[in-house]
A = this chain, B = another copy of it.
Amino acid sequence: MAVTIELAIQKTHRFGSRESGDTAEVIERPGGGISVVLVDGQGHGAAAKLLSVQVAGRVVSLLNEGVRDGAAARAAHDFLFAMRGGRVSAALDILSVDLASSTLVITRNSEVPMVLRRNGEPRLVVESGGRIGIYRHTRPWVLEVGIEPGLAVVLVTDGVVAAGERWSRRFDLLTAVEGALARAPDAESTAEAVLHAALEADRGCPQDDMSVVVLRLRPGGAPQPVRRLRVDFPLPE
Contacts and interface: CB of A to CB of B under 8 A. Distances in A.
Chain copies in the assembled complex: 2
A227 B232 CA distance: 6
Contacts of A6: 230-233
B226 A7 contact: no
A224 interface: yes
A234 B25 CA distance: 20
A227 B236 contact: no
Given A12-B226, A222-B236, A30 B5 contact: no
Given A53-B28, A229-B24, A230-B229, A5 B236 contact: no
Contacts of A9: 227-230
A77 to B, nearest CB: 18
A223 B65 CA distance: 39
Interface centre among A28, A34, A195 (most CB of B within 10 A): A28
A233 B27 CA distance: 12
B226 A229 contact: no
Given A27-B60, A28-B23, A32-B19, A234 B225 contact: yes
Interface in A24-83: 24-28, 30, 32, 34, 50, 53-54, 56-57, 60-61, 64-65
A228 B10 contact: yes
Interface in A184-237: 187-188, 191-192, 195, 204-206, 220-237
Interface centre among A28, A187, A205, A224 (most CB of B within 10 A): A224
B223 A4 contact: no
B235 A1 contact: yes
A143 to B, nearest CB: 21
Q: Which 3 A-B pairs have the closest CB atoms?
A: A57-B64, A5-B233, A7-B231
26 contacts: A2-B237, A4-B232, A4-B233, A6-B233, A9-B228, A11-B226, A12-B225, A12-B226, A12-B227, A13-B225, A15-B224, A27-B60, A30-B50, A34-B231, A57-B64, A60-B61, A60-B64, A188-B230, A192-B228, A221-B237, A223-B236, A225-B233, A227-B233, A228-B230, A228-B233, A230-B230
